[in-house]
Amino acid sequence: MPHAKKISEIIRVNHAGEMGAKVIYDGQIFALKLKKDFETLKIVEEMKAQEIEHFNFFDEKIKQKKVRPTLMQPIWGVGGFALGFLTAMIDKKSTMVCTTAVEEVIDEHYQEQIKELDFIVENIDEKGKKEFENLQENIKKFRDEEIHHRDVAYENNARDFFAYKPLSVFIKFATKTAIAISKKV
């Protein structure tokens, strides 16, 4: 199949990203429990539940398609947990900045993949079309849920964090870097 390399890349990077999202939320949940911030904890746990669904979808695809996961998983796991833990230890607003920054990058990332899959679906035989359309439909659904997470974080005062801009820029840079590396490594 001529598009197999691109599909493997999409599955690998999304698997890594959803694993990263889960561990960011794990770090936040751990910190929020320590701080006894049960209001923010409830919000974060709801978002994490959707990230688990996203991860499980791509984890199944990794197994089905025999795609090698990113070699960076251990590093992303430690880094994601640390990012989540540290942002949640600061306060609720910094916790929400983490979510807005990551989800804005993921929105763009998923939009790009949807366009790539549009091209593949338009240029593939009927036999393979259904599989790519299923992948695309799930990415669209997950993108909508990520946008919802971003919106919830903005509704919970992410922009009011005193260092909103520098923290957001840092997290976006780290997220974009992790995406670029995970596509290939």
CA distance 105 to 149: 12
Does pLDDT of 1 surpass 60?
Answer: no
Q: What is the mean pLDDT of the chain?
A: 94
**In terms of C-beta density within 10 A (0-12 exposed, 13-18 middle, 19 or more buried), how is residue 47 classed?**
buried
Quick check: 157 pLDDT over 60?
Answer: yes
Q: 102 or 1: whose pLDDT is higher?
A: 102
DSSP reduced 3-state for 54: helix
- Quick one: three-class SS letters along 101-156? HHHHHHHHHHHHHHHHHHHHHHCCCHHHHHHHHHHHHHHHHHHHHHHHHHHHHHHC
Local structure of 159: helix, strand or coil = helix
Work out the angle at residue 67's Cα, subtended by the Cα atoms of residues 61 and 73, and round it to the nearest 5 degrees: 95
89 contacts: CB under 8 Å, gap ≥ 6: 31, 34, 35
Predicted TM-score (pTM) of the model is: 0.93
* pLDDT on residue 5: 84
Q: Which amino acid is at 177?
A: T
Please write the tens of the pLDDT for every residue from 7-65.
899 999 999 999 999 999 999 999 999 999 999 999 999 999 999 999 999 999 999 99
